[in-house]
Structure 1
Amino acid sequence: MSRVRVHNLSVSLDGYATGEGQSLDAPFGHAGTRLLDWFLRTRAFRDVHGESGGETGVDDAIARAWGPGIGAEIMGRNKFGPQRGPWEDHEWTGWWGAEPPFRTPVFVLTHHPRPSLEMEGGTTFHFIDASPHEALRRAREAAGGLDVRIGGGPSTVREFLAADLIDHLHVAIVPIVLGRGVRLWDGCEGLEERFRTESVTTPGGVTHMIFSRP
């Protein structure tokens, strides 16, 4: 059976995977880009966006594992956009412009479904009100035997961890303190008992933690 994977989920030293106060101009709230600076510098990031340059090395090698073998993604509504409640702005198509980097079916978890949205480059957003098990069933059907990526944010990753549905979890611990926002690890006591754990710290101070099924 295909695996369920999480990649490049950045977390502060005090456990926050996003800041407080998400808005149209601040996708990660008061955290800004600080959680992602390590990733934005990599060649992997530049490659995904069709740009040249970028750093190579360990950060890049780990970051680029994000794409190969993925046939569908599941994300929470707050990763797709800052709106809450019923969809009032159907013109909003996500943070990524006309050609999002996913290039697969993407299932957006929301209590307010809306029609699917087909984008350039192979990405189609499907907006579903579903449990983790049901969302994964639908994503696997769409993935055609390939793996399914849980794209975040932290609340969605926690839900899939609580349902014991994740096979591979990559967390990048970034040497910053946010103080407030949405935490990843709440309710995850004993997580290490379910996974084999590896880690590497890069020269920039980021510690990559890999949790994988034995």
Structure 2
Amino acid sequence: MTKVRVESFSISIDGFGAGPEQSLENPLGVGGTALHEWAFATRTFQTQLFGNQGGEIGIDDDFAARGFHHVGAWILGRNMFGPVRGPWLDESWRGWWGDNPVYHTPVFVLTNHPRAPLVMEGGTTFHFVTDGIRVALERAREAAEGKDVRIGGGAATIRQYLQERLIDELHVAIAPVLLGTGEHLFGGVDLPNLGYKCAQHVASERATHLVLTRA
């Protein structure tokens, strides 16, 4: 059965999933890169995302690796695709990741502005969905062909899916960082009332990992 999952979503101690002022120079917002140091060090990220050899194994790598297991499609908010705002004036922006993005599956990007599908190397095709989160999920489920759908973020997109009780499992990595401002992951979300509970928690030297599940 297809699950809807959030994996390896990093937040600060004070709950922010990105820093302020996202831009081409600061794709994760000012200070946001520090949230992901636990993941950057892992063997999974070094080999699969950066094309390097080596990397750390252990708790952090176990969580990083499971985030790519049995995933057949992704959903992203538009800010996760890039810093461009408003109508697509042209199609020159093709994502943060170069010609061969890290997804290797169909990716459904939530937006208010239509754009033709963007076919990339390595099996990634970006589909731009203007009909809302439920339509994006329906299309992603179909494209996943029995595998899971991963909600990649950002924080606002995850909140929307949480509020509709559409996420089955949520892995959050709390980094030992204070941002003070930015995009808060759980702001306005009553997790217990929505049926979510903490099913697992484990700490490494670089992060505290929590897995929330929906009853």
Normalised by the shorter chain, which TM-score bucket? over 0.9
Measure the CA separation in 1 of the matches of 2:92 and 2:201: 42
Measure the CA separation in 2 of the matches of 1:107 and 1:54: 30
1:121 aligns to 2:122 (yes or no): yes
How many equivalent residue pairs?
A: 213
Query: CA distance change for structure 1 residues 52 and 187 in 2, over 3 Å: closer, same or farther?
Result: same
Q: Is the 8 A contact 1:132 1:163 kept in 2?
A: no
Structure 2: runs of 5+ lacking an equivalent: none
Deviations 1:135-190 (A, max 9, x none): 11111111111110000000000000001000010000111110111100112123
Q: Is the 8 A contact 2:3 2:149 kept in 1?
A: yes
> After the TM superposition, which segments of 4 or more aligned residues of structure 1 sit over 3 Å from their partners?
190-193
- The structure 2 residue matched to 1:200, chosen from 188, 197, 202, is 202
Measure the CA separation in 2 of the matches of 1:132 and 1:165: 10
Secondary structure at the residue paired with 1:75? Answer: strand
Aligned residue in 2 for 1:106: 107
Q: Is the 8 A contact 1:46 1:53 kept in 2?
A: yes
Deviations 1:72-105 (A, max 9, x none): 0000000000111111241111001100010000
Q: Percent identity?
A: 50
Structure 1: runs of 5+ lacking an equivalent: none
Structure 1 length-normalised TM: 0.96
Aligned-partner residue type, residue 202 of structure 2: V
1:16 aligns to 2:16 (yes or no): yes
Deviations 1:19-42 (A, max 9, x none): 101111110111241011110000
Aligned-partner residue type, residue 200 of structure 1: V
Aligned residue in 1 for 2:183: 182
Secondary structure at the residue paired with 2:127? Answer: strand
Aligned-partner residue type, residue 65 of structure 1: R
Aligned-partner residue type, residue 113 of structure 2: H
